[in-house]
Each structure stands twice: as structure tokens, then as C-alpha cells.
Structure 1
Amino acid sequence: MLSPLDLSLINGPIPAAATVSGVVALVALAIRRTRTWWTRVLPAVVLACAAVVAGLNFLVEHVWKPFPEPLPVILVIWAGAALLAVCLAIARFRAGRWYWRIASVVLVLVVTTSALVTANAYFGFYPTSRAVLELFTNNRVDLDEAAKPATRLVEVPAGGRLADVWQRPADLPDTGTVSEAPIPGAFKARPAWIYLPPAYAATPRPRLPVVVLLPGQPGSPRDWFDAGRLTERLDAFAREHDGLAPIVVVADQLGARMANPLCLDSNLGQSETYLARDVPAWIKQRLTVDERREAWTIAGFSQGGTCAIQLAVRAPDVFGNFIDLTGQREPTLGTRADTVKAAFGGDEAAFTRVNPMDILARQRFPQTAGVIVTAQGDALYRRAGTEVFEASRNAGMDVVLKDLPGGHDWNVWRPGLYDSLPWLAARTGLSR
């Protein structure tokens, strides 16, 4: 039987029940029998909360502008509902009896929980309660222990494929390992998260392909393990391929959750040098990997997807493959003018030299392959993905376009990456 911990928090009865409960709780907080409440208190509280939410929304989208996308309307509404619930409870506190005060606190918690469940369902961040509980566990292994130097290596003939010579050892573990380690370099990054598949524990050890994976903005490398369910998905892939799977290094291209240095070398930092030089050098020095460019993939979602196409054209000698999951048309802080001003002091030509769409228009990349994923419900970036696909194909790349149902969220990013693994395995020698 399905455990209650494995019931979906994205679809089905739990999000629906949360929505109904939140609405009922808010209505209960809004109802009182006194005339003054209906004519003065309630209208004043509603108008004040609406003004605060509208003002905060304006500040976030037009003044602070921490990310280029507008705030989703449904999240703004539920944020307003949570604020209204708190204010209504405070207004009831002074005149209410003790049991109504306790009830008001409970009703506020119900509305707030409903708002959080709605936000989670919208972005598809935690698919189940089990995924939420895993936040409080630590299954990471020290990298020095997980990645001890190999004593012997699997030999693959020139022009051959690892899958043709690989034989699964009888004592191979069923699961891979997850480690966290800093990667030093030109950019001040947060520690990377590293997945090593079961085959990495084998003797002789195979030289495995590498995926440098990036989160979105705002975000952190851990997002791919919490919301992305990376460990369980890659372990499942490895079980179907005799323990083989790519090494995945989830690097930090942001520096901080809300930062956006655009994966460029600019006034905002040396993020491109870090990703194109420092991270690959550290991986090759620290891990047993297949060093051919054909075995290296740069991938990411949203802002990380934009970075993927950037690195594919800016560092084609490093990355032979890329996976762009609902990325933007170009690196952006909201508008071209804002981006050029912040990154290059207004120098449009400097931006044009590094902008992937401009590079694709003047160069050819016949040795590069990629997957571009768009979302049917992503009104903001679906067209951008199609334009990037056409530009990549015109530049000679071997590219595939996948248009998936869903929006700009994890409900698309998870299948977008994991459904591309068979394509990647064929490209990198993990399958016959």
C-alpha cells in the first residue's frame, strides 16, 4: 500500500483540501456579529492588507528586481490571504474570549499552511511529505571517503563505448553517494553537491561522463537534490544500466540565493571563468572521469538553463553537450538595458560579444549536441526556448526540442532532465 508520506503534495486531494481549508479558515476569521466589525474594522483591515501587498509587489518587481520573472499572481493572492489572516486575528484578539483567541491562532496557521502548500504545488518543489522530511536528514558522505583514488581503471578501446566493456561487479552497491565540497576559483561560490553513481565504487573503476548541473535563480545547488530528487532518479537509472550513470556535480553559479551574476565575466563577478575553467579543472583533478569533451554536459533550469547554452557556446572545448531547461533567450536582469548597465557599465558591444544568440548567429558548432526543453504553460519563456532551438540548429548543432506540459517549475524541470538521460547515455557511452 502507498504510504501517506508518498501522497502527492502537487496534485490530488492534499492541495485541494489545503485550498478549501484555507478559504474556510479565512472566512471564519472574517465573520463577527458586531456591526462595528462589518462597517469599520473589516473594511479597514482588508484595504490595509491589499495596499501592503500591492506595495510590496511593486517594490519586488520594479525596485528590488531580484529575478527577471514577475511574481506569480496566485502566490501574491495567497501571500495577501496569509497577511489578512494575521491582521484579522490581531483585530479579534482584544475583544474576543480566550477560546476565540486560541481558535484565531489555529485559523491563522491553517491559512498560512494552505498558502505554503499552494506555493509548493505551483512550483512542484516538494512532491511528497517524504521529500519534506528528508530536509531533516543528512545522507551526505565525505568526498575523501567516497572518492578515494582508483587503484585500477576499466580500459575502453579507442573509439569504443564504456557500456560495451563494462561488467557489473557482484558486490556493487545499489545506490550512489552524495557529497558536498567547496570548489575554489575565480568566483566566490557556495559548496557544490556531488553525486557519484554506484559504478564509481567498483574496482576496476570506469572513467565516467560528467554532468555539470546548475540550479535556477533564486536557488542553491541543494535544490536539485531536494526538489529535483536527483539521487533517487539517478540511482534508478543506474539500476537499469548495471550501476552506470553520469557523475553529477551541481555547481553554484550564483554565489548567493538571490544573486544573479549572469554566468558571465563582468562587473558582477567571474562566474563564466569559474564554470568554464575552475570547476572542470577541479573535477578532473579530484574525480575519475572521462575527459573527452563528448563526455561532458552542462545543464540547468531557468537561469541555469540560460547558463547552459552560454557555456555551450563560450566553452565548446569543455562541454560537448548541453541541456537547457526552460532557459531565457539571453542572460538578463529583467531588460537588456538593465543587464548591459549592471554587467558592462552600459557597453552594448561587450554584451554582444558574449551573448549566446549573437554568438550562434556568427559561429558554427557542428560538434555540439543539446536538448532544449520548453513548457507549454510557460508564457514567459516558451517562445525564448524555441528561438534558442532555431538559432542552435542554424549554427550546426545537433539539437532536440522537447515541449512538455506544465509551467516554469519543477513539474517540467524534473522530467526535462531525467527523460533526457537515455539521449545523454547514448551520447556519452553509457548505453550501447
Structure 2
Amino acid sequence: MGLTSNNTLVAAVLAALLLFAGTVWLWPRLARRSWRAVGGRVGLLLATQVALFVSVGLAANQAFGFYASWADLFGRETDQGVVVDHAAGVPSGGPLQVIDTGRVQGRGGFRASSGGQIDEVDIVGRTTRIATRAYVYLPPEYFQSRYRTRTFPAAVVLTGYPGTARALVDKLHYPRTALELAQDGRMQPMILVMLRPTVAPPRDTECVDIPGGPQTESFFAKDLPDAVTAHYRVGREPGSWGIIGDSTGGYCALKLALHHPGVYAAGAGLSAYYNAPVDPTTGDLFHGDKELRDRANLWWYLKHMPGPDTSLLVTSSRVGEPNYKATLKFIERVKDTKRTRISSIILESGGHNFNTWRREIPATLQWIGGRLGDR
């Protein structure tokens, strides 16, 4: 039986109930002080608690989609995603302050010119006044003398909600993966700007310019690129920036690429959804503004607005991801536009979790690196 099968959950619940009933029924017979009686009591209690734990875990996994299969749960799903193109032939001081610096181990050790550098930074938007923490990965070429006049393409990388920016470094391994891909010649050197979309915590702003509230979309569309470009050697010409995200960050990445193609030439949504939810974590995002609500709905936007000149990548899994059917429909919706290009990564199985995204990130970085320019 599969990990997400209802039969598996029912079997676990029945086992827990039977063990509980058996414990109540046999307890008087195990009331003696012999070692066998004590061992029996301990065994029954332990078995009942394990069965309850498994039942709760299975129910939580079905509700939230953490793991898609037993192999996914035990880390045996390792096949990496493959990008499928659906359009044949489409080829100091100031707003950013560095507060700490770390190195990435390369083939030549921990020198910045060998493995690159990760700056922990504070960013304050000049126009939105939004302040947030981020991590900036600089590839080793950034510090090598032969590239001293070169500007580099950059990709914003977003977590889900609520998320932590550090997880992009330590759990999803974006810098290490980018380094390995570049060293193997599979991706051009690229700067990564890693942060969470929750720039006004604890509120989930869904990258929306909220009337009377945080102007989150404007922060990502203008303030963030301006702050990074003013501090680092990032290309200023169109086509220099891309954006990647998972879950909520994936929705934001797709929306920002659609709304601001002059800023983001490519956007990748890993396990993304396609319309901003309104729930207790978001509050009232739109304040009755129908135009704002419609713009936040990617289905509506692609149907009613001219398709922008940008490239999109979406990911899902046939088993384990709740967005699978919606993702297939989204691909078809984008293909109906004239200028917007769509690619996808579809895994056989994978839940809404870090293990799945780690399998998709190498192909995603290669894809986005191939769509950004450098000088």
C-alpha cells in the first residue's frame, strides 16, 4: 500500500484501535510483578503509542503532502527533474548593508576565488521602505582578476511561506548546486539573491501591493533589483534578472515574471499555485479592489492580458503534488499566448517538500541560467 493511500491510513488507525482495546483487555492479566508481566505492559504501551504516532503522521502527510511515497519518505527518490520545453525552437551605505560573510568550499578550498562567497545582507527598499534579511551568493568568477570588469546575471530565489532564507543555503543548497553546475560547464556563473517572500512577517503578503499596506510586489519588482545592482556587479540591461521560488515563492516568481517582464526575463515556480489565497495568514489583501484581485490571479491575467515576453518554468509530480492537474492546465493556458514561453519539470512522484525541490533545483538553475544574459 502506498504512503498516501487511504487504505494505509485506515489500516494504521485500525491497528491503533485494536492495540488500545487489547491493552485495556489484557491489563488485568498483566498486573503481576513478574518480569514477563512488566515486559508485556511495556510492550503493549509502546506498540499502542507507535501505532498512534504512525496514524497521526499518515494523516498529517495526507493533509499537507510532505511525502509522496515510501521512497520519498526515506530519501530514496533521487532522480533529478528534466526540463521539457513546450515551445519548439525557442531558444555601502545605501539600501543594502552586508552584515556577515561566509565562504563556499570549492575545488581549491574555501577561497572566494575558488568556491565563491555568501554575504548576509539587510535590504531596505528606497520606495517601499520594506526591510528584510537576505543572502547573496557571489560565484568564484566574481573574485577572479580576469572577470574584474564583468557584470553577472542574477536570480532572486524565494522560499515558501513562512520559510527561512537560511534554508535556501543550508537545506536546499542553492549556492553549492550553482557552483557545481558552473564548474562542470552546465551553467554560466550567476549571482543568487536568496530571501523569503514574507517581507512583512508574520503576514503572508503573497507579493501583492496591499492598499494601505506593504507594497510587496513593488519591492521585488524595483527596490530589490535596484539595491543589489547598486552594490554588486549585476547586469543592468534587460534579460539580466530571473526569479525562482517554491510554493508561495513559486507563485510570486511566476507572477513577477508575468507582471514585470522588463525586470525578470524568466521565472520558475517549483510546486507553485496560480492564484493568491485569502486566509487568516494573508488578511484582506485586496480591500475590495477588483482590478488588484484579478491581476493577482494568473489564470485571469493570462486570459485577459497580452502575453508578456518572458519565459516561465513550472514543476509538479504525477503522484504527491496537489498542483499537478492545475499545472498541466496552466501549461496549456500559457501555450495559448503568443510571446510567453513555458517549460516544465514533471516528476513521477514527489511531495511538497525539500527533498522534491532538491531534485528539481539543478535543472531549474540550468534552465534559468540559459535564459539570462551577461556581459
TM-score (norm 2): 0.68
In the other structure, the counterpart of 1:356 is 298
User: Hey, what's the Cα distance between the residues in 1 that align with 2:138 and 2:56?
Assistant: 36
Post-superposition offset of 1:265 = 0.4
Post-superposition offset of 1:274 = 1.0
2:141 paired with 1:199: yes
Post-superposition offset of 1:182 = 1.1
In the other structure, the counterpart of 1:299 is 244
Q: Give me the identity figure in percent.
A: 23
- Range with bigger deviation, 420-429 or 292-301: 420-429
- 2:113 is paired with a residue whose SS is coil
User: Are the counterparts in 1 of residues 67 and 352 from structure 2 also a CA contact under 8 Å?
Assistant: no
- 2:329 is paired with a residue whose SS is helix
User: Hey, what's the Cα distance between the residues in 1 that align with 2:268 and 2:30?
Assistant: 56
2:27 paired with 1:34: yes
1:229–1:108 Cα change, 3 Å: farther
Amino acid of the structure 2 residue aligned with 1:34: W
Post-superposition offset of 1:364 = 3.0
2:273 paired with 1:328: yes
User: Hey, what's the Cα distance between the residues in 1 that align with 2:252 and 2:74?
Assistant: 24
User: Hey, what's the Cα distance between the residues in 1 that align with 2:328 and 2:132?
Assistant: 32
User: Are the counterparts in 2 of residues 254 and 261 from structure 1 also a CA contact under 8 Å?
Assistant: yes
Tell me how large the CA RMSD over aligned residues is: 4.4
Amino acid of the structure 1 residue aligned with 2:238: R
User: Hey, what's the Cα distance between the residues in 1 that align with 2:99 and 2:278?
Assistant: 38
User: Hey, what's the Cα distance between the residues in 2 that align with 1:193 and 1:113?
Assistant: 37
In the other structure, the counterpart of 1:250 is 194
Q: Which has the higher strand share?
A: 2
User: Hey, what's the Cα distance between the residues in 2 that align with 1:260 and 1:207?
Assistant: 34
Q: Which has the higher helix share?
A: 1
- 2:239 is paired with a residue whose SS is helix
Amino acid of the structure 2 residue aligned with 1:373: T
User: Hey, what's the Cα distance between the residues in 2 that align with 1:114 and 1:397?
Assistant: 45
Post-superposition offset of 1:308 = 0.9
User: Hey, what's the Cα distance between the residues in 2 that align with 1:232 and 1:280?
Assistant: 23
- Across the two proteins, how many residue pairs are aligned to each other? 314
User: Are the counterparts in 2 of residues 197 and 243 from structure 1 also a CA contact under 8 Å?
Assistant: no
- 1:376 is paired with a residue whose SS is strand
Amino acid of the structure 2 residue aligned with 1:399: I
Q: Which runs of 5+ in 1 are unaligned?
A: 1-10, 12-19, 39-96, 129-141, 148-170
User: Hey, what's the Cα distance between the residues in 2 that align with 1:210 and 1:111?
Assistant: 48
User: Are the counterparts in 1 of residues 155 and 190 from structure 2 also a CA contact under 8 Å?
Assistant: yes
In the other structure, the counterpart of 2:229 is 284
In the other structure, the counterpart of 1:271 is 216
- 2:301 is paired with a residue whose SS is helix
Deviation by residue 1:336-384 (Cα, 9 ceiling, x = unmatched): xx97x81122333431144333222233345311211122124521122
User: Are the counterparts in 2 of residues 329 and 387 from structure 1 also a CA contact under 8 Å?
Assistant: no
Q: Which runs of 5+ in 2 are unaligned?
A: 4-11, 32-37, 77-96, 103-110
User: Are the counterparts in 2 of residues 364 and 397 from structure 1 also a CA contact under 8 Å?
Assistant: no
The partner residue of 2:340 within 381, 397, 419 is 397
Deviation by residue 1:265-319 (Cα, 9 ceiling, x = unmatched): 0145211111111111111011111222212101101111110111012212111
User: Hey, what's the Cα distance between the residues in 2 that align with 1:212 and 1:329?
Assistant: 19
User: Hey, what's the Cα distance between the residues in 2 that align with 1:198 and 1:116?
Assistant: 43
In the other structure, the counterpart of 1:343 is 285
1:121–1:390 Cα change, 3 Å: closer
- 1:178 is paired with a residue whose SS is strand
Post-superposition offset of 1:242 = 9.6
